[in-house]
Structure 1
Amino acid sequence: MKILKVLIVLLIVLFLGAIGVYYFGTNMASEKIVDEATEKLDTSGQMENIQSYVEDDPELSGYIEEAKAADESSLPFNSTGQATRVLIQKVGLTELNNIKSGVENGTMSHQEAIQKLEQDLTEEEMLALKVIAYKEIYGKQ
């Protein structure tokens, strides 16, 4: 009986630890990845290229205007960590990797990538992603 109690307590502790690692791990990892990518783009001068690409594309510039006008207090998430968890839960790591690979190698346009995300996410979640992207591209906090 004593062994059973110890085993149950151990399982509860392990379960809570796994939840903590998932929650804080995804948050820390996504923030670190975004920070490193943003810094690399800033130092290489490619951030200006991205900004001009977004501004020259009517669809993408429309997304930026949506993000500027959004009421951030009503969004389902406001950080890259929260966005990462939602994307992993709703889209899945495999599909996200497929989208990334497709865009990188040119077999998928950014419109197709956005359409795939729109299939799995709500309008509010998409707007939250647009706001996060706007903040990262234009350095707004």
Structure 2
Amino acid sequence: MNRLLILGIACIGIGGSGCKNTAEGIKEDTAQNAESAKESGEKASVATQKATERLGSATEKMGKNTGDALTLTPRIKLAITDDKTLNNTANLIDVESGDNEVRLTGHVLTEAMKSLAGTIAQKTIAQAGAKNLLVNELKVKP
């Protein structure tokens, strides 16, 4: 019986030591997890800041392109349709603005009409005070 009591006390002593080690392990794990969470939070903050900057830049660019489409495109279309030479049902001239470009697409009857459309578009861009590049992709289709 004494042996059993001594063995029980020894187990309690070992168990108590195990609890102490377990408690220390939990403290260490908690400290490591807290540091890891802090680092993750800092990385997420940096990533969020970068994403916000990219979004702001894209929004600014989109706003500029929208402004071009709303103001410059109609001005150029009006200037082209006001020209008696180009205002011909056989011509199909489309104007698109965006990414600091004005693009003429479609077809006209002659090379001279293509050149005239480009000249009118370039003049309208300059009058608007815009810095857009003119890309004349009109095809000559007699």
> Could you state the TM-score of these two structures normalised by the residue count of structure 2?
0.32
Structure with a larger share of its residues in strand: 2
More helix by share: 1
Whichever of the two has the greater Rg, that structure is: 2
User: TM-score when scaled to structure 1?
Assistant: 0.32
